[in-house]
Amino acid sequence: METATGTHMDEMRTSHLNAIDWIAMVLLIIGGINWGLVGFFNFDLVAAIFGRMSAFSRVIYALVGLSALYTIYTTTKMARS
């Protein structure tokens, strides 16, 4: 059984995530999995799917990097409030 406070906290956590937050989170997860595969198995999944340094691979890498910067920004903004 959830308390009223627990339910309210869950609603607050999910209500603060907008579409850009979710996209950034998904891209960071993709990037994290890819770097884990590179580190543990020397296997670049993005390059295997889209080609080594193809235009689309570079777009994916750039979006992951921008997502990381966005997350740093939003995390520091949340810490101040």
Task: Please say whether the beta carbons of 68 and 31 come within 8 A.
Answer: yes
In the block, tokens 């193809």 appear at: 54
Q: Look at residue 70 in the predicted model and tell me its pLDDT.
A: 96
User: pLDDT at position 6, please?
Assistant: 56
Q: What is the pTM of this model?
A: 0.74
Question: Please, which pLDDT band fits residue 12 given cuts at 50, 70 and 90?
Answer: very low
Cα atoms found within 13 Å of the Cα of residue 28, Cβ hemisphere only: 13
What type of residue sits at position 36?
G
pLDDT tens digit string along 27-79? 999 999 999 999 999 999 999 999 999 999 999 999 999 999 999 999 998 88
